[in-house]
Amino acid sequence: MIDVTIIGAGICGALIAHKLSKFNLNVLVLEKENDVALGATGANSAMVHSGHDPKPGTLKCKYNLLGNRMYKDVCADLQVDFDQIGAYVVATSLEEEQKIDVLVKQCIEREVPYEVLTGEQARVNEPNLSDNITKALSLPTTAVVTPWLVTMAAMEESMLNNVQLRLNYEVNQINKKDDYFLINDEIKTKVIVNCAGSHCDDITNLLRVSPYKVETKKGEYYVLDHTGEQLVHHVIYPVPTAKGKGVLAVPTVHHNILLGPNSDFVEDKDDVATGTGLDYVKRELSKTIKNVPFNKMIHTFAGNRPHIDLNDFYIQEDDEIKGFIHVAGIESPGISAAPAIAKDVVENMILPKFSVALKQKYIKRKPYINMAKMSKEEKNDLIHKDPDFGKLICRCEKVSLGEIKDVINRECGATTIKGVKMRCRPGMGRCQGGFCEPEVVKIIQKQLDKKLEEVKLDKNNSQIFTAYAKEDL
């Protein structure tokens, strides 16, 4: 019998599993894809909002504020990057200046640090701000993270402490028994936590009519190369509108710049194609940023966010079915809110159902090996111990064979090209895998003892090779 089953291995599911892994509980995580963090967690603005913007009285406001204050410690505990670079919300008209005044009032009420700058003052620090900007709200507690690495680190450490992860597992049946749930006629569990993102209502509908309907918003982004002079050093927001926070410029922890997103509803919950939304991003960005070097664009991508018709997060035990916990509608500021959501769900919704103690022995993960951050002496020492760390595979991001083997041969290890890319960055640079991807395929093939045609780009329908050109190969 499983104590707690979490459906969905995005950032909320992983952080809930991580908190539960510290207790003497039998925990299982189910994920329909072949890796964690392949949904909304893997394609977003990669930032921790200050909490200045969400509507007062909402769960978005509550969890954003709490999550922002937790993030530095969470990232330190998981040994992943956290960079508190700050943000500017910028106005280009009197009407927009009045909206900044509203945000200032919210900052005061929420004890969010802030400073109001003139356009001229803001351009001293950010010379590429548009000349039309007349006022800026500085938010120093805004930070950037890598959400999928937070997720992967949390899941890896959870698995080191006996949490089970089942990938490629789609939940299509749930039956409520007297004191447990039966999933797909095989998994007995006392508690279910529904963290299925855009499919949360589909999961709930297996038991009863869902109290919310999930619609999917797609956001498209440009990624700029991290070479040369950086376009901006803070996150740059326009003033928010009814559609959301608007088109942003976001420096990442790796010093690329994300530009986006748009925000459009799509019928297909899994549609992540890029298209005309990128034109919208360009137009909107021109209102706040000048001198955007689109000739240094190296990648575009899209991500979907689960929006529910209640216009807020839905985080609670089900009103009708005890033991079924909803973590639904986790759109922006979902990444920012995730640590606080996990804490609340575990401490106030799950643990009261069990009489359990903390584990006496807890295993901490070792961080991914990142030679780019090492001193010359540290690199030489590592290469002396294992020559694979001296064999360069990705020239753009300076990633070695040893680093790639390391991220494959771990709990919650990479099994696909994108899985390797997300963990240690081969293919993230200027050539986008043009040189290193064939080598990564061979490394995955060898390390996991796969046939060449079994190596996937990312999801299960993304074969790189379908057949051999010559039968004798």
Q: What is the CATH number of the domain that holds 290?
A: 3.30.9.10
b/e per residue 362-387 (b: at least 16 CB within 10 A): eeebeebbebeeeeeeeeeebbeeee
Q: For the segment 2-23, what is each residue's pLDDT rounded down to a tens digit?
A: 999 999 999 999 999 999 999 9
**Are 70 and 158 within one domain?**
yes
DSSP of 310-355, one letter per residue?
TSS-EEEE-SSSTTEEEEE---TTHHHHHHHHHHHIIIIIIGGGS-
Q: For the segment 233-285, what is each residue's pLDDT rounded down to a tens digit?
A: 999 999 987 767 899 999 999 999 999 999 999 999 999 999 989 999 999 99
466, part of any domain = no
470, part of any domain = no
pLDDT given at position 469:
75
**Are 162 and 255 within one domain?**
no
pLDDT given at position 120:
97
**Are 412 and 424 within one domain?**
yes
pLDDT band of residue 472 (cuts 50, 70, 90) is: low
16, part of any domain = yes
DSSP of 394-459, one letter per residue?
ETTTTEEHHHHHHHHSSTT---SHHHHHHHH-TT-STTTTTTTHHHHHHHHHHHTT--GGG-BSSS
pLDDT band of residue 473 (cuts 50, 70, 90) is: low
**Residue 332 CB burial class (10 angstroms; 0-12, 13-18, ≥19):** buried
Q: For the segment 151-204, what is each residue's pLDDT rounded down to a tens digit?
A: 999 999 999 999 999 999 999 999 999 999 999 999 999 999 999 999 999 999
438, part of any domain = yes
Q: 371 pLDDT exceeds 90?
A: yes
pLDDT given at position 470:
74
pLDDT band of residue 468 (cuts 50, 70, 90) is: confident
263 vs 52, 185, 218, 248, 344, CA distance in Å?
A: 20, 39, 6, 12, 29
Alpha helices in 21-112 (DSSP H): 59-78, 94-110
Q: Which of 97, 87, 85 is nearest to 138 (CA)?
A: 87
pLDDT given at position 471:
65
pLDDT given at position 88:
98
Q: For the segment 107-120, what is each residue's pLDDT rounded down to a tens digit?
A: 999 999 999 999 99
**Are 159 and 230 within one domain?**
no
- Measured from the Cβ of residue 273, the count of other Cβ atoms closer than 10 Å reads 10
Collapsing DSSP to helix, strand or coil, 141 comes out as: coil
Identify the CATH number of the domain in which residue 414 sits: 1.10.10.1100
**Are 261 and 405 within one domain?**
no
**Are 68 and 151 within one domain?**
yes
Do the Cβ atoms of 246 and 235 come closer than 8 Å?
Answer: no
**Are 283 and 202 within one domain?**
no
**Are 359 and 255 within one domain?**
no
Identify the CATH number of the domain in which residue 6 sits: 3.50.50.60
Q: Domain range holding 203?
A: 1-82+144-213+309-367
The domain boundary residue, chosen from 255, 274, 302? 302
Q: Quick one: average pLDDT of 50-56?
A: 97
Instruction: Please count the structural domains in the chain.
Output: 3
pLDDT given at position 467:
77
Q: Which residue has the higher pLDDT, 334 or 243?
A: 334
pLDDT given at position 283:
95
Q: Quick one: average pLDDT of 339-343?
A: 98
* Full-model pTM: 0.97
Average pLDDT, the chain: 96
472, part of any domain = no
pLDDT given at position 241:
78
Residue 118 token pair: 């003139």
Q: 61 pLDDT exceeds 90?
A: yes
**Are 384 and 424 within one domain?**
yes
The residue to which tokens 């050093």 are assigned: 233
**Are 316 and 434 within one domain?**
no
**% of the chain with per-residue pLDDT over 90:** 94
Q: Which of 234, 266, 212, 25 is nearest to 127 (CA)?
A: 234
Which amino acid is it at 70?
M
Do the Cβ atoms of 68 and 85 come closer than 8 Å?
Answer: no
**% of the chain with per-residue pLDDT over 70:** 99
Query: Which sequence positions are flagged as catalytic?
Result: 49
**Are 115 and 227 within one domain?**
yes
Q: Quick one: average pLDDT of 133-140?
A: 98
**Residue 69 CB burial class (10 angstroms; 0-12, 13-18, ≥19):** middle
pLDDT given at position 465:
84
93, part of any domain = yes
pLDDT band of residue 292 (cuts 50, 70, 90) is: very high
d(CA 212, CA 67): 24
